Chains A and B, each alone.
Chain A
Amino acid sequence: EAGVAQSPRYKIIEKRQSVAFWCNPISGHATLYWYQQILGQGPKLLIQFQNNGVVDDSQLPKDRFSAERLKGVDSTLKIQPAKLEDSAVYLCASSLTRDRPNFGPGTRLTVT
């Protein structure tokens, strides 16, 4: 079974620029998550999708972050404009049911 795919793996941008991350979950997984992992901390949930719908986005900074899940499969996470404190690894995960998510390799974002 192919794992969760993410791209790009690394991204460096200047503050106030925009950036987008892409995620392709494991085939057939209805639940998709985006987590933010700041250096030295555990991942924090940003948004959880169940098929096309948003289940939980309570910790998503909606003034600058947005996410969508196209046709219940791939997902994109966008940051506009980026701040220095957005430097982190952005992890996409998916699960068949709403537990035990499988994580992708992450996108490491550096905002300068």
Chain B
Amino acid sequence: QKEVEQDPGPLSVPEGAIVSLNCTYSNSAFQYFMWYRQYSRKGPELLMYTYSSGNKEDGRFTAQVDKSSKYISLFIRDSQPSDSATYLCAMSAGAGGTSYGKLTFGQGTILTVHP
């Protein structure tokens, strides 16, 4: 079983739709949770970062973490064609161990937003 599971999609939605992306994880040591966006032939770009259960909002993006269920989500409101990319969830353990800073990624979900 992989430490982080993410549905690879692909996911295709019309412009303006609300998009929901999800990841589950099995390692209870994960304390920090991130969402990266990766355009074709580019490196991943950090979108959202959180370290606690609950919601964090930034513009059209909302990250949700439920540590009790080991489940994280990213919601995109009013999706735009420019949001078309691969979305990667990533997580890491807390400070104090040698694995601090090591990100474990999900497989990535390919999203296409049609005009």
Contacts and interface: CB of A to CB of B under 8 A. Distances in A.
A111 B86 CA distance: 24
A36 B105 CA distance: 11
A35 B88 CA distance: 14
A102 interface: yes
Interface in A29-46: 31, 33, 35, 40-45
A72 interface: no
Contacts of B88: 42-43
Interface residues of B, number: 28
B100 A98 contact: yes
Given A40-B8, A42-B106, A100-B49, A95 B43 contact: no
B107 A42 contact: yes
25 contacts: A4-B43, A40-B8, A41-B107, A42-B4, A43-B44, A44-B105, A45-B102, A45-B103, A55-B101, A56-B98, A56-B101, A56-B102, A91-B43, A91-B44, A98-B95, A99-B100, A100-B34, A100-B49, A101-B101, A101-B103, A103-B43, A103-B45, A104-B43, A105-B43, A108-B41
